[in-house]
Amino acid sequence: MLAQAVESYLAVRRACGFELKCQGKLLRSFAAFSEACGQNHVCSETAVQWAGSARSLQQRARRLGDVIRLARYAHAEDRRHEVPHPIFGSERGPRPVPYILSEDDIERLVQAASQSGYRTLRRSTYSTLFALLACTGLRVSEAIRLRYEDITPDGLVIRNSKFRKSRFVPLHETARVGLEQYLERRRPYAPFDDHVFVSLRRKPLRLVDVDYAFRTAARKIGLPCHPQRPRPTPHSLRHTFAVRALETCPDGRDRITKHMLALSTYLGHGKVSDTYWYLQATPQLMRNIAEHCESWVAGAQP
């Protein structure tokens, strides 16, 4: 019975656009654990016991949070399902401070990628990929899923990204030229695969491949990698794009609101609050906020 409730819950959430791959596995594991304990409904005590087997406190909180959402759904139809209390605290820890790259960092990173590894397509692949991420703000997952048909005369079509959303990303002429030059070399390398970016295995790039190539290039140019400080990752290129876009935001409340909404849509954020988070990313943005607040307190127009 509990296993059926899990499948029903997952089907409804996925119909709303959530993938729930990891959560689905965990909830099925919880259902099996509960049924092994003789429970056919969500039991708070059993849920806490199952979630408590995770290694870290944050993992326990996330596990219990998944069960809580399941229980709320199931309780609406059958009150025998108990809704556990979030005794492990918040599921989300503080969001890590993004590492913002300078223009010089990006240039040196792309150059390092173009010289790393064997003299093969690999060099062109990663230098083009990093340059594309930097000038478009794409997610890494979106870039490595690009196919030939997604490159149009007007820009890139990003299909079925987060929450199954699709959007259009315009390309600057210099970015288009760089991409076309790469494709001239790439097409004969793996002619039966239409993914834009491919590995030396002649298959689509994996996230782990991109992460390794980025770390190699970042280490080569001396970018810091301290465990207790913000560290550069492939996603830093997207963070940097968002921050630079905010730094060019015009003054004026209405214009700022429109700029934020446009940037949020462009980046494919599900909530505009995800875009506002970038306001704390650099001293310049924080200084601008402080100056506007001081002006407002002093009686000036915001």
Q: Which residues are catalytic?
A: 139, 162, 235, 238, 269, 278
Contact status, residue 68 vs residue 9, Cβ threshold 8 Å:
no
Cα distances from 265 to residues 142, 145, 269, in angstroms, run 15, 20, 6
- Residue 111 and residue 134: Cα distance in Å, rounded? 13
Helices marked H in the chain: 2-15, 21-36, 44-51, 57-75, 103-113, 121-136, 140-144, 173-186, 207-220, 236-247, 253-267, 272-276, 283-297
Q: Quick one: tokens of 92? A: 């989300």
- Residue 166 and residue 295: Cα distance in Å, rounded? 40
Q: Quick one: tokens of 15? A: 């119909």
- Residue 70 and residue 44: Cα distance in Å, rounded? 12
Sheet holding 151-152, edge to edge: 151-152, 155-158, 167-170
280 alpha-carbon distance from chain centroid? 18
